[in-house]
Chain A
Amino acid sequence: MVDILAFESVTIEHKGRGPVPNRILYDVSFSIRPGEALGLVGESGCGKSTIALATMRALPPGMKVTAGRILFQGQDVNLLSDGDLRRVRGNRAAMIYQDPMSSLNPVMTVGQQLIEVPMLHHGMDRGKAWKRAVTMLHEVRLPDCASMMARYPHQLSGGQQQRVVIAMALMAEPALLIMDEPTTGLDVTIEAAILELVRDLRAKFGAAVLFISHNLGTVARICDRVGVLYAGRLIETGTLGSVFRAPAHPYTRGLLAALPRLSLGRRGRLEPIEGTITVGDRARIGCALSPRCAFSQPQCDGAEIAMHPVGQDQEHVARCVRLDEIPARPVSLAAARPHVNDSDYDDVEVLLSVRELSKAYGLGGRFGGKGKGSIRAVDRVSLDARAGMTLAIVGESGCGKSTLAKVISGLTSASGGEALFRGVDIAGQSVDQRPDDLRRRIQMIFQNPDSTLNPSHSIEFALVRPLKRLRGMSRAEARDEVRRLIERVRLGSDVLACLPDQLSGGQRQRVAVARALAGNPDLLIADEPVSALDVSVQAAIVNLLSDILEQSHIGLAIISHDLALVRHMADWVAVMYLGKVVEYGPADQVFAPPFHPYTDALLAAAPEPDPDAGPPRVVLGGAMPSAAEEIRGCVFASRCPRKIGAICDEVVPPVRHFGKHTIVCHLDLRCGDDAHASRRIKADPAPGFSL
């Protein structure tokens, strides 16, 4: 049988400004058989999206296939006539994109966009196409399909939008589905539901899938085979099991080791891949990883490296000359942190004590008057941040976690309740009302270092300013302190003269950490500090934060949607849903049964890079209701898989105590009810790939 898609030693170059064209992809070969799902993983800039676009012959201007062939069902894509190409696009090969909102036309209804496909490719008339579109919306399990057709994209939630895009791709029953980061940017529970949908649809329609992602966990849920990309090269391919269980290439191993995992519990340190990928790596002759590789030897450079088989498995190949010599690299388990007893928490100083804190925004009110109700972004939340410990606030977008961080840091002020910082209530004080000393004590690290450092100020300027402002240092003192700070975040003093865009994302985030430390704070609030970074860089920043915590007595409040990261870092965890804390307690207890049904669903949804992980036991339907809705009972009732009945909708659930651990739920979780835990946190310490 002919392969659906085959790349044969494809090289793609970009005609840059210089005399030599930039290499984007080099010598990429892979094939996808009918009905098979191939996953391509790699960090940003590795060329994965280029592969998707090249398959559709839709490369951006300036990029060209300069060597090799791309065969779609045996035909060279680049030799197709324009008419033939149009008959492939959207018909035999369809694409699903990263950001569903922007890939749907905002001024056309869902229906108008869907019916174009069969009208274009199958010559259907409007009425028939419309019927087919409605059926397809059923297939992607959207509610209320008929009325869905008349809606505009902005009237749907992110998950619904992605379902529409999937329906659109399936309209012509293509032989190949290309999915480019289809769940990036969606919430974990939505992601899990979309991935399940893709699995089911694959079984039903039998389309081959090219699945592109930076997330090893999502790849593990969908794919049969995996290819790992680095700097424009495919460096390892094989079946999902062989690559994830026995990664051969040092990069793949590094990638898997750098990932925090739910199943590993709290570990002391992650293992980052040192250094960063540079533009030059793509043009390197020889191994692209060599500058970052601990096993690099002279033979790695100088000549291009071919794929070598790994062991007996003919399918599993890796682009490394030293496969046999590289020692197995087991995950260091010795570093696991000691178990913390309940009583250990008692003598730790509570830095920040949040009590019944609320933040409501008025809706539609003009001239500051009362409008049509309000949004309760944070609703009577209570939690504590302790010195030297990490408090994690987890939840999906819209749960109020960032608003809570904003209230604590003073970017907005609370509308009710209190936040006692060392005994002083700071809930009502916005940052410009706070005394300098208090401002210094609470510092923030933001999600996106690209946009939070002023692009026209040098790093030194960005660091000197808080020193002078908050700690009253003289210019000379500040200069010395800046050097100490930059060393503390493990950067060379040569970065001081740089502007932010001369640094890599990881370096910038280190600068952001240094800037936050400049105030010599008591409490650091980190809002999704690593979610904009690549996996291998993420690990280094996470380690840096743990080191800082260990050396100083700073309390860290980390806001994150990534449960594995939280599992790795947190001492205390608060799970938020729709403005409320539904579960709160020491991390080891929150991540062990009994669970709040929402925590349970989050844990089930978190994609783990485990080839043996079956489908998640719980998949949440629906979406988080709007915070403007009046909810009398439990906030989670509308999506809860374990809803008891009317009581959940009408009565505010009680707070149940399990030692220091609290769960807000009507279910009596006490009586050994852990049988429902969707995925027991595995006891066996060995992940798939300890060799």
Chain B
Amino acid sequence: MLRYTAKQLLNIAVTLLAVSFLVFALNELTPIDVARKLLGPYATQDQVDILYKQMGLDRSLLARYWEYLANALSGNFGESNLYRRPVAEILWDRLGNTLVLAGICFAVIVPFSALLGVLAGMRERSFVDRAVSVFASVCASIPEFALGVFLLAIFVVGLGILPGTSPLSTSGGWPIWSQFVLPVAVVTLYDGGYLISMIRSSMVEVMRQPYIRTATLKGMPFRNVVVKHALRNALITPFTVILLQLNYLVSGLVVVEMVFAYPGFGRMMLEAALNKDIALVEAGALCAVSVTMLTQILGDLGYMALDPRIRV
């Protein structure tokens, strides 16, 4: 177990290194002139050239990467061109916001979809199963932005009981908690729809297993069969997928963040990439990769805990 974790941590370090270089190199390929972008369309070519030199962009890619890496290792992630502030400041702020949103979503999505998925899957083709399946596929097939707009139309425009944007400040007159309701609802419905189908089909598969028949023919009430024998088995397969949702929740919420003007990590990354804010993109990418790799380890460990057949 210890060896496994150590190995995985080493894996993360290597991957982070590779990713940091890749992002750096790929950034080079985008046809945006940073200096021009910063100075605006009315600057002269001379001014642009000077800034170009000042920023050290005339040096080779490797040299610049090396410098970046050395700084990053000592904790200095550079300064954002876009926001004119140290990267660390912006990053932690945005990442913090996103983690709050992601945490709430995750805490809602998992029990919500596990409950519905198990209820649907335990009696295949029953009324509950059909109803839940339809609900799940409808949720999963409406795009996030459309879902966001629908909910906005109902709760903000129609009923007026929730705020239309979530800037996480009380200046608009809405308490902070109320600003979370709609983003969380959109993410839960959209992502939950997918998870429900996953858990349902896993549950259906488990209910067909001979050991479920064994349990039933022991004389156990159906409830106990489901809770004691089926539940844990049904969660084994979707478990990895459930944890993968964490990645999505951290770095994939761009759309929701845009719709609700939520100051999150995804939006930050989008803006940074569009403005060729290399320092910010780099740091963001490294964060996203770390989250992915960590959830993977978490997934493996959890998998082992759930399924005694798998041991390192």
B-contacting residues of A (Cβ < 8 Å)? 56, 58, 86-91, 94-95, 97, 99, 102-108, 116-117, 120-121, 152, 154, 165, 168
Q: How many whole Å from B45's CB to the nearest CB in chain A?
A: 54
Whether A86 touches B220, Cβ cut-off 8 Å, given contacts A106-B309, A107-B307, is yes
- Let me know if B306 is at the binding interface, CB within 8 A: yes
Partner of A154, one of B210, B306, B309: B309
Question: Which partner residue on chain B sits nearest A106 by CB separation?
Answer: B309
**Pairs of residues from A and B, 8 with the lowest C-beta to C-beta distance, nearest first:** A90-B218, A90-B219, A89-B219, A103-B210, A86-B219, A105-B211, A102-B210, A152-B308
Inter-chain CA distance A165–B309, complex, in Å, is 19
Let me know if A152 and B309 touch, CB within 8 A: yes
Residues of B with C-beta under 8 A to A90: 217-220
Contacts of B233 in A (CB 8 A): 105-107
Residue from the list B217, B220, B307, B309 in contact with A58, Cβ < 8 A: B217
With A and B bound together, what is the CA distance between A571 and B226 in angstroms?
55
B214 CB contacts on chain A under 8 angstroms: 95, 97, 103-105, 165, 168
Measured CA separation A87–B220 after assembly (Å):
9
Query: Would B221 and A86 count as touching, CB distance under 8 A?
Result: yes
- Asked if A107 meets B209 with Cβ closer than 8 Å, knowing A58-B217, A116-B218, A121-B219, the reply is no
List 6 additional contacts besides A99-B210, A107-B232, A120-B218; criterion CB under 8 Å. Answer: A89-B218, A103-B211, A104-B211, A104-B214, A120-B219, A154-B308
Check B308 against A95 for contact (C-beta < 8 Å): no
Q: Closest Cβ of chain A: how far from B52's Cβ, in Å?
A: 46
> Is B229 part of the binding interface, using a Cβ–Cβ cutoff of 8 Å?
yes
25 residue pairs bridging A and B, Cβ less than 8 Å apart: A58-B213, A86-B220, A87-B219, A88-B219, A90-B217, A90-B218, A90-B219, A94-B217, A95-B217, A97-B210, A97-B214, A99-B210, A102-B209, A102-B211, A103-B211, A103-B214, A104-B214, A105-B229, A105-B233, A106-B211, A106-B233, A116-B215, A116-B228, A154-B308, A168-B218
Residues of B within 8 A of A95 (CB): 214, 217
Nearest A-chain residue to B211, judged by Cβ: A105
How far is the CB of B110 from the nearest CB of chain A, in Å? 19
Contacts of A104 in B (CB 8 A): 211, 214
CA distance A86 to B209 in the complex (A): 20
B236 to chain A, nearest CB (A): 8
**8 A Cβ contacts from B168-222 to A:** 209-211, 213-221
B214 CB to closest chain A CB (Å) equals 5
Smallest CB gap from B231: residue in A:
A107
Return B126 CB to nearest CB of chain A, in Å.
11
**For residue A99, which residues in chain B have a CB less than 8 angstroms away from its CB?**
210
Q: Which residues of B contact A107 (CB under 8 A)?
A: 232-233, 236, 306-308
Cβ-closest chain A residue relative to B208? A60
B211 touches A120 (CB 8 A): no
A108 and B229 CA atoms in complex are apart in Å by 8
Contact of B229 with A56 in the complex, beta carbons under 8 Å: no
**CA gap between A266 and B218 in the complex, in Å:** 47
CA distance A99 to B217 in the complex (A): 15
Complex CA gap A154/B307 in Å reads 11
Tell me the bound Cα distance from A121 to B214 in angstroms.
15
Q: Check if B220 sits within 8 Å of A120, measured CB to CB.
A: yes
Bound Cα distance A103, B210 (Å): 5
Q: How many residues of B contact A (CB 8 A)?
A: 21
Name the distance in Å between A185's Cβ and chain B's nearest Cβ: 12
For B220, list chain A residues within 8 Å (CB). Answer: 86, 90, 116, 120
B209, B211, B218, B232 — which one has the most chain A CB atoms within 10 A of its CB? B218
Complex CA distance for A87 and B216, rounded to whole angstroms: 11
Q: How far is the CB of B127 from the nearest CB of chain A, in Å?
A: 15
- Asked whether B219 lies within 8 Å of A106 as measured between CB atoms, the reply is no
Can you name the residue of chain B whose Cβ is closest to the Cβ of A85?
B219
Q: How far is the CA of A87 from the CA of B221 in the complex (A)?
A: 10
CA distance A168 to B211 in the complex (A): 12
Q: Mark B223-251, 1 if CB is under 8 A from A, else 0.
A: 00000110011001000000000000000
Residue numbers in A under 8 Å from B228 (CB-CB): 108, 116
User: Which of A88, A90, A105 has most B Cβ within 10 Å?
Assistant: A105
**B209 closest partner in A (C-beta):** A102
Alpha-carbon separation in the docked complex, A530 to B232 (Å): 39
Residue-by-residue, is B293-312 near A (CB-CB < 8 Å gives 1, otherwise 0)?
00000000000001111000
Closest A residue to B310 by beta carbon equals: A154
A120-B179 Cα distance, complex, nearest whole Å: 50
Chain B residue at minimal CB-CB distance from A56: B217
From B216, B219, B307, give the contact of A91 (CB < 8 A): B219
Task: Compute how far the CA of A94 lies from the CA of B220 in the bound complex, rounded to whole angstroms.
Answer: 12
Q: A94 contacts which chain B residues (CB < 8 A)?
A: 217-218
Q: Give min CB distance, A571 to chain B, whole Å.
A: 41
Which residues on the A side are within 8 Å of B308 (C-beta)?
Answer: 106-107, 152, 154
Q: Give the chain B neighbours of A117 by CB distance below 8 A.
A: 218-219
CA distance A94 to B214 in the complex (A): 9
Look across to chain A and name the residue whose beta carbon is closest to the beta carbon of B309: A154
Compute how far the CA of A165 lies from the CA of B228 in the bound complex, rounded to whole angstroms: 18
Most B CB within 10 A of own CB, among A58, A87, A104, A108: A108
Q: How far is the CA of A99 from the CA of B232 in the complex (A)?
A: 21
- Chain B, residue nearest A105 (CB): B211
List the A residue with the shortest CB-CB distance to B212. Answer: A105
- Enumerate chain B residues within 8 angstroms of A152, measured Cβ to Cβ: 308-309
- Inter-chain CA distance A260–B284, complex, in Å, is 72
Q: A102–B218 Cα gap in the complex (Å)? A: 15
- For B71-93 the 0/1 string (1 means CB < 8 A from A) is 00000000000000000000000
Question: What separation, in Å, do the CA atoms of A121 and B217 have in the docked complex?
Answer: 12
Q: Contact check: which of B216, B229, B236 meets A89 at CB < 8 Å?
A: B216
Closest residue on chain A to residue B218 by CB atoms = A90
CB of B208 to closest CB in A, whole Å: 10
Shortest distance in angstroms between B230's beta carbon and chain A's nearest beta carbon?
Answer: 9
Residue of A nearest to B235 (CB): A107
Instruction: Determine the chain B residues whose CB is within 8 A of the CB of A168 once the complex forms.
Output: 214, 218
Can you list, as one digit per residue, whether each of B126-147 has a CB less than 8 Å from chain A (1) or not (0)? 0000000000000000000000
Q: How far is the CA of A168 from the CA of B307 in the complex (A)?
A: 22
